[in-house]
Amino acid sequence: MTWSPPTPQPAAFAGPRRIVIAGGGTAGWMTAAALARTLGAVAEITLVESEEIGTIGVGESTIPPLVAYNRILGIDEAEFMRATQATFKLGISFENWRVAGESYFHSFGGTGRDHWSAGFQHFWLHALTQGYDVPYGEHCLELKAAEAARFAHLPDDTMNYAYQLDSARYAAFLRTMAEADGTTRVEGRIAAVELDTVSGDIAALQLADGRRIAGDLFIDCTGFRALLIEGALHAGYDDWTHWLPCDGAIAIQTGSVRAPLPYTRAIAHDAGWQWRIPLQHRQGNGIVYCSAYLDHDAALQRLLDTVEGDKLVRPNPIRFRTGARRRQWHRNCVAVGLSGGFMEPLESTSIHLIQRAILRIARMLPAGRVSARDIAEFNEQQLLDMEQIRDFLILHYKATDRRDSAFWRHCAAMEVPDTLAHRIALFRETGRVFRKNEELFAENSWVQVMMGQGILPQSYHPVAAKLRKDELEHLLRTVRESVARTVAALPAHGDYVARYCGAQQPVAA
C-alpha cells in the first residue's frame, strides 16, 4: 500500500482582510510598512492617526537587530540613514554606574575567541592568575573602534553595529514606503472604540468627526494611552517599578558641537541617569529619574545645566511606569510599542520590542479564524522577551558599589527576580553565562555588564588551564593585535558617515 499526499484545495484567503492600525509614530509606521510589504494585496491596511496628538519620539538609539529588520523590508541603508540623519552605533558607554568617576563599555558583537566549551572570558580570567593585566575590553573590535571614534562596513559583517537616528524622521520614511505599498492613512482623532455586542471583539474605531473605521484585526499603537488593548479590552498591566524605580524622563534636542561619536552615552547621577545620542544634525539628550528622590524641576535644571550646544526645542517631559501588558494580544487586538509595555531606554530596546511584535504578528497572521493557541503563544513569547530585558536592565541598578545617595542605596538593597539572582550567582561562582530561548542579549553582553558593574567571577572553566602560559599569551596577543590592526585601518566615524550617507557637512572635531 502506497501513501498518496493530499491534494491541497485552492481557497480564498479568509483571514483578517481589514487590518486597522490605531496610531502612527514609530510603532504605527513600522507596523504598516512591514505588513504592507509582506501581505501586498492580500489585506487592506488602514492607519489612523491625528496630527493633534504628539508622539513620544525618544527612541533614537537602537540595537543591531534593526539592521536585519530594514534589510528584510528591502530598505537601502544609505538612503534610510540620510533620511533619518543617522549615525552608526557600536555600543553604549556606561559612566558612573558602578562607582562615580568610572566607566565601562557595553559593545555589540563578541570579545576575543570563544572555545566550543567555554567563552573567551574564561581564558582571560585564567590569564589574570598568570600575571596578565590587559583589560577584557582590549580584545573587542567594536569597543576599540568606538573608543577611537572610527567606523566602516567590514567584509562579512564582522563589525556589529546599530543606528542612532531621528525617530520622527524614521516614521516619516516608513510612512512614504507603507503608502507606496498600499497602506491608507486616515487623519482623525479616535473618540471611541466600538465592541461587537456578541463576541466582545473590537468592531470599529469611532472618530471624533463621526466616521467609523471597521476592521477584522486591530493593532494598538496609541502609546501609553493604550486606547484599544487597555481602554476598551482591559488587558491588565504588570507594574515593575519595584525593580526599576525610575518613573520620569525629560528629553531635549541640541545642536551638534563636535563630530558624532559611534556610541551612546548613559551617564548615571544620584537619582537615575542621563543619555546623549549623537546624530548627524543634532544631539539627543535626556534625563531619566526617580521622582521619589528627585523632583521634576530639579531634574529639568540638571539636564539644562549639563547639555551641550544650542537648545533646538522645548524640553519634553515624560511620565512612565515600567512594566508589561498582561495580554499583549487580546481578542482581535494586538498591542505594539508603548501600548504593550515600557522598558526604560537604558539599553535602547524600545524600537526592538516594536520590531519583535511586528515580526510575530506577520508570522502568526491567521488564515481564517484567530487561533487561541496563536494568541497564547504570542503573549508568552512577547512577555518572555520583556522579562529577559527587564532582568538585564535591573542588573545595571542592582550590581553597584554606589552608596552615595538614597536612590543608589535603595537599588543595591532591593530584592531582584529569581531569574536574575540565579544569573548573577552563576556568573560570580563560575564565570558562566547561558543564552536562553533566543533572548536578545547574548553571553558577551551579560559578561561585559556584569564585570563592568563589578561582578568578577571566582573561578573559570578548566579548559582554559590546558593552555601553557606561552600558548595563552600568544592567543591573547594575536587577538589584541588583530583588533588593533583593524581599528587602525578604519576611517574616522564622522568622515565615513559624511561619505556614505551624509545629509550635511561633518562638524569639525
- Report the alpha-carbon distance of residue 322 to residue 434 in Å, rounded: 26
Quote the cell numbers at residue 400: 553597584
Buried b (16+ CB within 10 A) or exposed e, 210-240: eeebebbbbbbbbbeebbbbbbbbebebeeb
Q: Which residues contact 314 (CB under 8 A, 6 or more apart)?
A: 252
Per the listing, cell 539628550 goes with 285
Contact criterion met (CB below 8 Å) for 182 and 299: no
Buried b (16+ CB within 10 A) or exposed e, 463-497: ebeebeeeebeebbeebeeebeebbeebebbbbbb
pTM: 0.93
Domain spans in the chain, listed from the N-terminal domain onward: 18-86+165-241+322-388, 111-150+392-495, 248-319
- Report the alpha-carbon distance of residue 172 to residue 205 in Å, rounded: 23
The values of phi and psi at residue 45, to 5°, are -110, 125
Q: In what order do the strands lie in the sheet with 248-255?
A: 103-107, 91-95, 264-269, 272-278, 282-289, 248-255, 316-319
| pLDDT at residue 57 in the model | 54
Quote the cell numbers at residue 463: 579548559
Q: List the CATH code of the domain at 18-86+165-241+322-388.
A: 3.50.50.60
Beta strands in 31-102 (DSSP E): 44-49, 87-89, 91-95
22: nearest Cα among 245, 186, 199, 260: 186
- Report the alpha-carbon distance of residue 75 to residue 453 in Å, rounded: 37
Q: What share of the chain is helix, strand, coil (3-state, %, to 5)?
A: 40, 20, 40
Active-site annotation, residues: 89
C-alpha distances (whole Å) from 261 to each of 141, 257, 422, 494 are 16, 11, 36, 7
| DSSP H helical ranges for 365-442 | 372-398, 406-413, 418-430
DSSP state of 445: H
Beta strands in 323-380 (DSSP E): 323-325, 329-330, 333-335, 341-342
Q: Which residues contact 256 (CB under 8 A, 6 or more apart)?
A: 278, 279, 280, 281, 282, 283, 309, 507
- Report the alpha-carbon distance of residue 178 to residue 444 in Å, rounded: 36
Q: Which residues contact 38 (CB under 8 A, 6 or more apart)?
A: 362
- Per the document, the length of the chain is 509
DSSP state of 232: I
- The helix-helix angle for 65-72 and 350-364 (nearest 10°) equals 40
- Report the alpha-carbon distance of residue 213 to residue 178 in Å, rounded: 19
* pLDDT tens digits in sequence order for the chain, 509 residues long: 566 666 655 445 556 789 999 999 999 999 999 999 999 888 999 999 998 776 655 658 999 999 999 999 999 999 999 999 999 999 999 999 999 999 999 999 899 988 888 899 999 999 999 999 999 999 999 999 999 999 999 998 899 999 999 999 999 999 999 999 999 999 999 999 999 999 999 999 999 999 999 999 999 999 999 999 999 999 999 999 999 999 999 999 999 999 999 999 999 999 999 999 999 999 999 999 999 999 999 999 999 999 999 999 999 999 999 999 999 999 999 999 999 999 999 999 999 999 999 999 999 987 777 789 999 999 999 999 999 999 999 999 999 999 999 999 999 999 999 999 999 999 999 999 998 888 999 999 999 999 999 999 999 999 998 999 999 999 999 999 999 999 999 999 999 999 999 985 444 33
Q: Which residues contact 138 (CB under 8 A, 6 or more apart)?
A: 144, 480, 483
Quote the cell numbers at residue 428: 560570580
434: nearest Cα among 388, 399, 466, 468: 388
| pLDDT at residue 157 in the model | 86
Per the listing, cell 543606528 goes with 163
- Report the alpha-carbon distance of residue 24 to residue 349 in Å, rounded: 19
